[in-house]
Amino acid sequence: MLVCTVTDVRDFMEKLFLKDTFDGFQLMEAVIVTANTFVIDGHIREEYYTKEEWEQLAEKKVSRWKELRPLCFQMIKGKKTPESMKLVFRMADSGVEKLLIQSGLTFQLTDVEGLFFNVRYENDKLQLTSGVSMKLFTMDKSLERFWEQRLQGFLKQAEIVCEQ
């Protein structure tokens, strides 16, 4: 599991809320504490859509950050910073499938529940944590290590500096 502290919180927040840096990820959950506590469950509710609309949705499990980012930004913008914030991001299945091919590992998409990273902001500190959830029991941590490397590469490419 990768655990790191972001050194430039202001820059990270700009990339998170004002740029498309994280738009390719799904948002599983958001808890934003300001004057109120806001909780977002990113799971898409099939019941809300007609059958035709549901069939047109590419990723049918979880909303993309791109779609929820404006709403979350609306909750935090203002003169005061949030007291705390927790965001749980997930790589879309299409990305997991590509990552599995690139890794050369023997795991299949059906073996993987998700590749995650959490953003936690509290007391002016911002911490990132990675995680892998499998649908099967395994002691093999090779996928977890590969995901950590990919996430570190993503952060480096996005010019986000972290201290482990």
Q: Tell me what the mean pLDDT of segment 107-134 comes to.
A: 94
Domain boundaries defined on the chain: 3-163
Confidence of residue 78 (pLDDT cuts 50, 70, 90): confident
Reply yes or no on whether the pLDDT at 139 is more than 80.
Answer: yes
- Single-letter amino acid code for the residue at 158: A
Please give the Cα distance from 81 to 13 (Å, whole number): 11
Handedness of CA 25, 16, 42, 153 (dihedral sign): positive
Give one word for 95, left, alpha or beta, with left for phi > 0 and alpha for psi -120 to 50.
alpha
pTM given for the model: 0.91
